[in-house]
Chain A
Amino acid sequence: MASAPSDRRQRVAQLAEQLRGWESAEAGRSQQGMSSGCSQLDALLPAGGFSPGSLVEWFATDPGAGATTLALAVARAACGDEGWLVVIDSAGTFYPPAAAALGAPLRRMIWVRRPAGNVARWATDQALRCPGVAAVLAWPETLDATTFRRWQLAVEQSRVLGLLVRPAAALKEPSWAEARLLVEPRPSADEFRRWQVELLHARGGWGGRSAHLGIHHDTGQWFTDRIAGPGGSAACALRVVPRLAPATLVASPTAG
């Protein structure tokens, strides 16, 4: 009977491990996430990247913070050369030329303009459910837990990457997102627009880590310098990833 406490501890550890597995939306699937093109942003996330079939929340404290820019950069990576992007533009302020300049595929983008409250939720739901879509970019102001949960189940089924850009006020709301990222702008330097991105929460128990990153104003290339975590800051080599956006987009005669 002496071994009972250690057995129990082992058992508890085992159960905790299982629980973490279940908590992750990627349970039973490949744990490898899709790269956003920015290694430090990828490294923030438990799966080492953004997992298709998950929801990611981006929080910005003020307008002009750049959360949409980062979300769009991730959406672009998720779409690759063939995928379609659906933009649910509730406010009607989305500006396609800027998206094109950032390398978003306009020819493979469905832009839903100014859907009113309920309709916007419905449209987002429909887009998240559609396996023919690679990524959905939306700005839901308020989101009740039931809808959120429904969306999360929908993307697990459809393998769509849902990118939700949200106001800071929504930080208090319950979340079913795979990851919640807080985007805080930092003053530009060396031709880079800079941010500190903090992983507020990730399913599977991560969180509290942050990364500094930047995008070059002229070339659109990523710049990251270090990643900081609860266990201290880990030095990381300077790395400039391949260009984010091609300078020109010359359309081929056939539509995607």
Chain B
Amino acid sequence: MWFPAWPLQRWLQAQPQVENRPVLMFRRLGRRGSVVVACSEALAERGVRCEMPLAEARALATRGQQSRETILIREHDPLADRQALERLAEWCHQFSPTVALADEGTDAIWLDITGVGHLAGGEQKLVAAVAQQCAAQGWRVQLAASDSFAAAYALARFRATVGQPLWAPPGELRALALDLPVESLQLSDEAAQTLDRLGIREVRELERLPRAGVSARLGPETMRELDRLFGQRAEALNGVRPTEHWESSLEFENSVADDAVIVEVVARLCRELAQQMEAAQLGAMCLTVSLETPPEPPWRDAVRLFRPSAEARHWIELVTLRLEQARLRAPVTKVIVAASETGRLELRQQELFASSASSAEAKRELATLVNRLVGRLGHRQVVRAALAPDPLPENSYRTTPAVREGRSAARGTAIPWRPLERPLELLPASRQSLRVTINDAGAPSAFHWRGEEYRIADSQGPERIESGWWRGAQRRRDYYRVETERGHRAWLYRRRDDGRWFLHGWFA
């Protein structure tokens, strides 16, 4: 499929209001000024050609100009052209599973229709159908089908016309290809000039020349191109993979303000999407729900999941929790449920050993629990912890959101403490100020906390802990693990800067 004047086609598609006005597209060539990339047919009739300097083209275009007709002159946007072509290539997946894009600069798409012709009642009918569908979309395309990709491109470009697709029956490729102009080969400028000088215009003339001589004079790529044209050489193509949009949406005829209806619709969309995704062995890692509420901006929320899931029941539960918190400013016109991130589902095959089957089930249940907790409490409150190499007790661990399973606490640090060396209950540092009695050795012998006296029977310390000076305000503390006469154990420290005592935790 070759798209004549693609930059212009693409631009006109995006600007329907332009209609039939003549358009000229140019690109800048640095100091050498600007040249024409594409122009409307009306201008082409007046002599405007591609690669013509812009000034000259403008002069030609305005020479025979009728009254009050304005010419739109626009700069070429190669990136937008390419992106539009990529989108079109994706759209073409409906005709063939293998779709490929030409290199940049060639506005062509290849479809491999080997073995798919029968679906449309024959290759010829398929080609006609593709042409028809493209026309219906408003694209002008020159189509050809042939035994080799190079020949198909050459025939589409130089033999087919818009609305007249060309289908080369198998075996007739050679006859058709021989009549093609040498421009249909993708030759270097140098080789093309040499051929021009030699007066060789058609492939037939080139093919008659001795191969060894052609290779020597025009470079080996000329023969390679010729072989590609005749389908005698393997060709590599840039395949376009269809991106997967996992989305399910419903548009209301009349806008809806009833919460119950919206929740029900979201649930239905979730079920639809989950079913499709499960068939593809995929699960959602992130679910996005959008409610369009014109003229207000749409309401959107994303729910992240602990593991890929395709369980509609579970999605609905999570999404409903979020919907309950939604404050909609206008009635809803459209509901979209999308899986913005996906992951492979763990296979639910029959396990040989019951234990591993139940462990997979247990993992799924755990994922459901975590998603549910995160859904209600948020990422900050549902976490996993890992040790961090920081001497300061309140900094010697870090937390990661529980949903990022695997990446989080995977890196463990060796535990530097003995089993009962740290308190299970840690109070905020420097909050619980204490009155402490000190014995002759300088160790605490009693402390008062919440109006009660705790007499210390045994104390271990001091354990000197300091924060690194490079972390800003330095904290220097002497910690004591103390046991009261009744056996209760607490963690006290003396701030070395001012000698004040604090309770930092209980060995609960």
- Residues on B with beta carbons closer than 8 Å to the beta carbon of A130: 365-366, 368-369
Q: Is there an interface contact between A97 and B396, defined as CB atoms closer than 8 Å? A: yes
Q: Is there an interface contact between A102 and B419, defined as CB atoms closer than 8 Å? A: yes
Cβ of B424 under 8 Å from chain A: yes
From A82, A93, A188, give the contact of B425 (CB < 8 A). Answer: A93
- Residues on B with beta carbons closer than 8 Å to the beta carbon of A184: 487
Interface pick from A20-28, A40-48, A104-112, A148-156: A104-112
Q: Which of A66-107 touch B at CB < 8 Å?
A: 66-69, 72, 82, 84, 86, 91, 93-103, 106-107
Interface pick from B111-119, B126-134, B297-305, B399-407: B399-407
Expressed in whole angstroms, the minimum distance between the Cβ of B450 and any Cβ of chain A is: 10
Expressed in whole angstroms, the minimum distance between the Cβ of B124 and any Cβ of chain A is: 55
Expressed in whole angstroms, the minimum distance between the Cβ of A207 and any Cβ of chain B is: 23
Cβ of B7 under 8 Å from chain A: no
Q: Is there an interface contact between A251 and B410, defined as CB atoms closer than 8 Å? A: yes
Q: Is there an interface contact between A126 and B414, defined as CB atoms closer than 8 Å? A: no
Contact with A along B280-302 (1 / 0, CB 8 A): 00000000000000000000000
Q: Residue on A with the closest CB to B481?
A: A217
From B365, B376, B408, give the contact of A131 (CB < 8 A). Answer: B365
Expressed in whole angstroms, the minimum distance between the Cβ of B440 and any Cβ of chain A is: 22
- Residues on A with beta carbons closer than 8 Å to the beta carbon of B399: 111, 113
Q: Residue on B with the closest CB to A67?
A: B508
Cβ of B331 under 8 Å from chain A: no
From B393, B409, B423, B483, give the contact of A187 (CB < 8 A). Answer: B483
Q: Is there an interface contact between A63 and B488, defined as CB atoms closer than 8 Å? A: yes
Q: Residue on A with the closest CB to B484?
A: A64
Interface residues of B, Cβ cutoff 8 Å to A: 359, 361-370, 372-373, 376-377, 380-387, 393, 396-397, 399, 402, 405-412, 414-415, 417-427, 457-458, 483-490, 505-508
CA distance A101 to B507 in the complex (A): 12
CA distance A139 to B485 in the complex (A): 26
A-B contact pairs, 17 of them (CB 8 A): A63-B490, A65-B488, A66-B507, A95-B426, A98-B422, A107-B409, A109-B385, A111-B383, A113-B383, A130-B365, A131-B362, A132-B368, A133-B369, A185-B488, A188-B458, A194-B487, A248-B414
CA distance A193 to B508 in the complex (A): 12
Q: Is there an interface contact between B422 and A107, defined as CB atoms closer than 8 Å? A: no
Q: Is there an interface contact between B489 and A131, defined as CB atoms closer than 8 Å? A: no
Expressed in whole angstroms, the minimum distance between the Cβ of A221 and any Cβ of chain B is: 9
CA distance A247 to B414 in the complex (A): 8
Q: Is there an interface contact between B411 and A251, defined as CB atoms closer than 8 Å? A: yes
From A65, A94, A106, A114, give the contact of B384 (CB < 8 A). Answer: A106
Q: Is there an interface contact between A101 and B417, defined as CB atoms closer than 8 Å? A: yes
- Contact (A218, B486) CB under 8 Å given A111-B399, A112-B373, A112-B377: no
CA distance A185 to B383 in the complex (A): 32
From A126, A195, A215, give the contact of B369 (CB < 8 A). Answer: A126
Expressed in whole angstroms, the minimum distance between the Cβ of B329 and any Cβ of chain A is: 28
CA distance A115 to B415 in the complex (A): 28
Interface residues of A, Cβ cutoff 8 Å to B: 60, 62-69, 72, 82, 84, 86, 91, 93-103, 106-107, 109-115, 119, 122-123, 126-127, 129-133, 165, 184-188, 193-195, 215-220, 244-245, 247-251, 253-255
- Beyond A93-B426, A101-B421, 15 additional contacts (C-beta under 8 Å) are A68-B424, A93-B427, A106-B384, A106-B412, A110-B382, A111-B385, A111-B399, A112-B377, A123-B373, A123-B376, A127-B369, A187-B483, A217-B418, A245-B419, A254-B410
Q: Is there an interface contact between B412 and A219, defined as CB atoms closer than 8 Å? A: no
Q: Is there an interface contact between A119 and B377, defined as CB atoms closer than 8 Å? A: yes
Expressed in whole angstroms, the minimum distance between the Cβ of B138 and any Cβ of chain A is: 52
CA distance A165 to B506 in the complex (A): 14
- Residues on B with beta carbons closer than 8 Å to the beta carbon of A195: 487
Q: Residue on A with the closest CB to B505?
A: A95
Q: Is there an interface contact between B508 and A244, defined as CB atoms closer than 8 Å? A: no
Q: Is there an interface contact between A219 and B368, defined as CB atoms closer than 8 Å? A: no
CA distance A217 to B405 in the complex (A): 33
Q: Is there an interface contact between A132 and B424, defined as CB atoms closer than 8 Å? A: no
Residue of B412, B415, B486, B506 with most chain A CB atoms under a 10 A cut-off: B415
Expressed in whole angstroms, the minimum distance between the Cβ of A3 and any Cβ of chain B is: 50
- Residues on B with beta carbons closer than 8 Å to the beta carbon of A86: 369
Q: Residue on A with the closest CB to B421?
A: A101
- Contact (A253, B488) CB under 8 Å given A64-B507, A66-B507, A218-B418: no
CA distance A232 to B399 in the complex (A): 49
Expressed in whole angstroms, the minimum distance between the Cβ of A92 and any Cβ of chain B is: 9
CA distance A93 to B393 in the complex (A): 12
- Residues on A with beta carbons closer than 8 Å to the beta carbon of B457: 187
- Residues on A with beta carbons closer than 8 Å to the beta carbon of B361: 131-132
- Residues on B with beta carbons closer than 8 Å to the beta carbon of A249: 412, 414-415
